[in-house]
Structure 1
Amino acid sequence: MDGFSFCISNSETKEPILFSKYNFSNSIKTPELLLEEIIKIFNSDKDLQQDFSSVFAIHQNNLATLVPNQLFDRNNLAPYLNYTVKTLKTDFITYDVLDTTSASNVYIPYVNINNYLFQNFGEFEYKHHSTVLIDKLLSYSKENSEQQFFVYVSQNELDIVICKEGKLIFYNSFSYSTKEDFIYYILFTAEQLEMDPDSFQLTFIGDIEKESDLYLITYAYVRNIHFMNTINNFFADSEDFTNHANFILIS
């Protein structure tokens, strides 16, 4: 609800060709207003007015929950969200099957955005952002024997993923409005998992830089912090974007 970004890649080599990002000055309040902003972007951005061999959309919101596959029933999705998400009878609920762990991700996508993309491009794939994030991080960490603490930062949300040797130990998404909220969720999660802030390594991904208040307050409590080192160096010479900030789309 706070922005829109896209990447155009070579369909054969999968190498990124172009990346663009639109940040909204205020978080959009409803999916209807979000669609209005998306339509404006599509109407004005020539790069989006091309023919593409395939389209993959990622919905980023906190309207999701992970369900172990042994407890999962694809014909009865609504109950999985009832304890964590305020749902309406008219909501369309779907799921992703994670590639790297025995779980499914139940979530509510922005159906009106999907309908608009279908009108523009025809058939396309879509997933929830946490599905892509978890799958990428589990693949990234499978050779590491240490427990890894990842924090993916968005404008008003943070996702925490903890894994070891490619196995998911913890995932959750939290809303924050202050830097104190932000560090609280990190320290609370560490405490619940008995991880010592003086010894574990925290890896930042997403919309955070070393000069930010979020980084500085985290460094006051957590000793070992670094930013994700991505394999892809598409943004190596960019003054506007960094590789760790756009890990979900380009890594």
Structure 2
Amino acid sequence: MPPVALHRLHDETLDLENLSAYNLYLTAGAAGLRVGVADVRRNKFVALEDYAAPDGAMPLAGQVQALAAEHELVGRTGWNRVLLAVQNRHFTLLPASLFRPGDEATYLRLHHATDPQRESVHHYTHTGLEISSVFAAERGLAEWFRATYPEGRLVHHTSTLLEGVAHQNEQGNARRIYLSIGHQEVTLVAMRDKQPEFCNVFPFSTPEDLIYYTILVMQELQLNPDQDLVTVWGDLMHDSELFTILRKYIRNIRFGNRPYDLSYSYRLNDVFEYRYFELYALHLC
């Protein structure tokens, strides 16, 4: 059973006969699959698609294969670049100067017990931020991606979030907190002068869990919920319980924008600007 389409937004300029002029971006996680296409020359997103995970525990590999079997974009080759971001809590960050290729499993073992039958370990180095990300991905998904797009790049969703936040047009060196809310998990990032100081993913099942982790991180970083700015992206609405409780306990809170320095088709105006940030930010990786 293929994933269920929630959004399929295409600009009329998207030319399916000239895929080399575009980058293909994919994200895969508990909420399902997301697809983005960016025009390389115009530095512009011209397509966005969102697919909910089908009922049942279908692996991500099965979802993406079912989608590719009948899709006009996913599974096709000839793109300029292809990147896939996996969304999970199984990652760690370390200074790039300390990273040694081949030791990925050792680094990750401190934070996550990898199951070699179901998972494979990967890495991505942020050259501008001078940090390396080591993460686990569903083995079947990684194997499908490697076979379909040998030159493609696999990253963790925290890497796209870090790159996107670092490219935000914000002045000053004050520490800032950023939240990205996904399916029953929230990624919290603290940045100072465009350099990451904290990044972690927390599970939550209630709005109270969400505000607990947010306030806990702010307190650990000596930030004041009554004064310091918190920026939010992700899968929530202005009138949702999640945003209501955030606004109740954090006075200076706002929804984030799409990544700067990129253009977006008017077709994408059908969705809120604070959604799909990690998908857009793949363009910055």
Q: Taking structure 1 as the reference length, what is the TM-score of the superposition? A: 0.88
Q: 2:210 is paired with a residue of what secondary structure?
A: helix
Q: 1:92 is paired with a residue of what secondary structure?
A: strand
Alpha-carbon offset, residue 97 of structure 1? 0.7
Over aligned residue pairs, what C-alpha RMSD do you find? 2.3
> Measured at CA, do residues 55 and 238 of structure 1 come closer, stay the same or move farther in structure 2, by a change above 3 Å?
closer
Contact persistence 1:68–1:102 (CA under 8 A): yes
Contact persistence 1:132–1:248 (CA under 8 A): yes
Contact persistence 2:48–2:268 (CA under 8 A): no
Q: What residue number does 2:162 align with?
A: 134
Q: Which among 57, 60, 80 is matched to residue 34 of structure 1? A: 60
Contact persistence 2:44–2:263 (CA under 8 A): no
Q: What residue number does 1:54 align with?
A: 81
Q: What residue number does 1:16 align with?
A: 45
Q: Which among 171, 174, 180 is matched to residue 202 of structure 2? A: 174
Alpha-carbon offset, residue 141 of structure 1? 5.6
Contact persistence 1:157–1:175 (CA under 8 A): yes
> Measured at CA, do residues 92 and 246 of structure 1 come closer, stay the same or move farther in structure 2, by a change above 3 Å?
same
Q: Which among 228, 235, 244 is matched to residue 274 of structure 2? A: 244
Alpha-carbon offset, residue 239 of structure 1? 6.7
Alpha-carbon offset, residue 174 of structure 1? 0.6
Q: What residue number does 1:185 align with?
A: 213
Q: What residue number does 1:104 align with?
A: 132
Count, aligned residues: 248
Any unmatched runs of 5+ in structure 1?
A: none
Contact persistence 1:243–1:250 (CA under 8 A): no
Q: What residue number does 2:178 align with?
A: 150
The answer to whether 1:163 aligns with 2:159 is: no
Q: Residues of 1 paired with 2:205 and 2:171: CA distance? A: 35
Compare relative contact order (CA 8 Å, sep 6+) and give the higher one, 1 or 2.
Answer: 2
Q: Residues of 1 paired with 2:225 and 2:265: CA distance? A: 31
Q: Taking structure 2 as the reference length, what is the TM-score of the superposition? A: 0.78
> Measured at CA, do residues 73 and 17 of structure 1 come closer, stay the same or move farther in structure 2, by a change above 3 Å?
same
Q: 2:155 is paired with a residue of what secondary structure?
A: strand
Q: Which among 223, 230, 252 is matched to residue 224 of structure 1? A: 252
The answer to whether 1:64 aligns with 2:94 is: no
Q: What residue number does 1:203 align with?
A: 231
Contact persistence 1:69–1:103 (CA under 8 A): yes
Q: Residues of 2 paired with 1:77 and 1:117: CA distance? A: 19
Alpha-carbon offset, residue 49 of structure 1? 5.6
Q: After superposition, what is the alpha-carbon deviation per residue over 1:151-200, rounded to whole angstroms, capped at 9, x for unaligned?
A: 01101111111112112121111111111111110010011111110001
Q: After superposition, what is the alpha-carbon deviation per residue over 1:24-56, rounded to whole angstroms, capped at 9, x for unaligned?
A: 255x646xx222222221123223364423311
Q: 1:56 is paired with a residue of what secondary structure?
A: strand
Contact persistence 2:255–2:274 (CA under 8 A): yes
Greater share of residues in strand: 2
Q: Residues of 1 paired with 2:50 and 2:254: CA distance? A: 24
Any unmatched runs of 5+ in structure 2?
A: 1-29
Q: Residues of 1 paired with 2:241 and 2:158: CA distance? A: 25
